[in-house]
Structure 1
Amino acid sequence: MIALADMIPVRPVRIGDNPGLAWAEGLTLSLPRPFLEASGLAAGLDSRGDLRLPDGLALPEAAAAAASVRECRAFPGERPVSSRLPFSYHVLPAVVRQFVAKAMGRRLRGRQGHWARFPLWPLDLGADFLADLAGPDASARPAGPTPVVLSHDLDSAEGLANVVELFLPLEEAHGARSMNFVVPKAWPLDEGLLGEIAARGHGLGIHGHDHGNTTWLLDGPARRHRLEQSRDLARRHGMAGYRAPSLLRSRELLRDVAACYRFDSSIPTSGGPFPVPNNGCATARPFALEGLLEIPLSLPRDGSLLFLGHAPGEILALWQATAAAIARSGGVVVLLTHCEKRFSGNAPMLAAYTAFLDHLATSGTYRFVRMDALADCANGPHPA
């Protein structure tokens, strides 16, 4: 298995007669040094990290390396502070949590080399490069315009109300429908609003249990009991997907999720500093993992960007640039935003979100797809 220490930044500067890799030319991404050495590609790597590929390249063994890179930090295992507290971190007022997170973010913004050694930030497509290095049939690439999936994590009653009032009208005006992950046991859910979301053609999914950030740490029976407690809600509203709170996931959690849901969307392409440093799967393409379809969060998340001190205009530019790189690579653009006022539910961030939707809808490069429709292309019927 590839380890974090094996991953090095590489920039392909010559692809030779390998047109399937043209998207990666000039893009910095992470590759495992042991694979580069074993395959002979290290001979084309200089001291600056520039990589020149020979002509006539055929490396079917790169498919196994791609899978290893995807899983290298897909389950990082470290416990963030929120999971180590003797009480639920939601006991702290939101304004306190936001102050602490922003203070941490300002400090971390200048230490990117520590928390983004792998995957690189804000985007790392090393696994996709290796998949394409294995040959044109080694990984599925969507035909036509690049799929774009909009998703929201509704962490509070405020978030649920705001998504209906502020976000859905913007998305509908652009011909888009979002996937909305709701916390089932944190507050009394307004089932009328959930029904309205579904009636307007948007999707609903399960966002953990109570957002206490501990489900992934429980033993098997306790973990499965928590998942089962949300099954009635999921059945009533046709919820086919799962997202772990704060993206805190484990291999064991996903195995249990696979018994209940068609797809998961808890693993970022490039996770940044949150929930823990150096986490993500380095792919923007959905892939099979632990018995279900994993749909990576391929764009940097609003919370991480805001905590790092990025202004709304900077966030918009980053989203546009990252989406363009994903489109060239044959990936899927997946965006996670939060609808609370302290995240994206305020005028400056809503303006950035609207501008991003305008860009996606008018560029001719993208098409909006609901997350469960994307999953339906790869999965069978919903579990009973």
Structure 2
Amino acid sequence: MPLESRAAAIRAPVGTEIRPALAIMHHPRRRAGLAELVAALGDDRPNVVVDPDPTGPPSPLRTAKRAWAAVDSRATHHVVLQDDVAPVERFGEHLRAVIAARPDAAVALYVNWRSPHNSYLARWAALTGRPFTDLAPHEYVPTLGLALPTEAAVELSRYLSGFPDDFRDDDELVTGFCLAAGLDIVACVPHLLDHLPGSSVAGNDDHGARQAAVPMPAGEIPPTYWQRTVTKSPGRRRYTVDLYNSRCYLRFIRPDAGEPARHPYSWPWANWCGLVDADSGHIRSRFSDWLDRATRTVDAHPADLLELWAAGYLAGRDAGAVPGPAREVVDAALGTLVRSGVPNGSPDDLLELCRAAVDCGRGAS
């Protein structure tokens, strides 16, 4: 039976008690940190699934096949974590609340702060006060931590078993499976996991730091936070705002054009913001106003500050003047925008500028 025909069968019954079971994809090179990870998961004792060929060519898929097959039939949901994650405090309590809010979906517990589209979608959700964001269907599903209804996990394990280990990238295959099965692909915002520093056993060291796009803020977020709204985002974002090496770019989303998610086609904001109905002259003018009123000097070149201002302004304009975003979650999202996009910047000083730009952009929406 094709996946499309089984879509209804792999969804979790709404209203049932959430009973997640956890599996950890583990490579022996990370043995030193495994006990700490297991302890951080509290009472949720995970099934540790070891790479069956740890000295072989790097292949996340090789271990993912077995981790997704390690299903507990008594569980309502199967959750697979990689072994280089740092769970938030009260992870189990938050996990159950997250799954209860979106029991039928594929729920990512982390989004990479530099992913081309999903990092922006996660930050957009933070700016609009949404505890969940729909992820881009044309970009890989973040598999650092992913929850699926148990029946979906069983089907996924069967699907993955049909591919050779040297295909390597499990996240691309998970994307194809979820789309074919008709599963919504969402991420919780803020995230329940962050990525630990260290070398990549999958051969991804060239990706640089892979921290969470919207980490859990230091202030307490109660598990009831995930019940704020469970409605889907109002349509797909038609562009994203990117800040890279202190330069702001617009990346237009053309899912029907067949462009890969990591395509290099992003455009300087000043020349292209008219396509999103923004005025570059107005953005520059409002930046000058802020700079004139600044009470302290920010140690950065004014041209770089303008680029950060443009990124914050355009993101705020896209989010709009919405009620109720949690300020600590907004700050977490903007903090990673600054740290991932401004090399060697002063995060505290630049965060103040970014906040002001977002607020200014909201007022222009």
- Under a length normalisation based on structure 1, what TM-score does the superposition of the two structures give? 0.23
When normalised by structure 2's length, the TM-score is 0.23
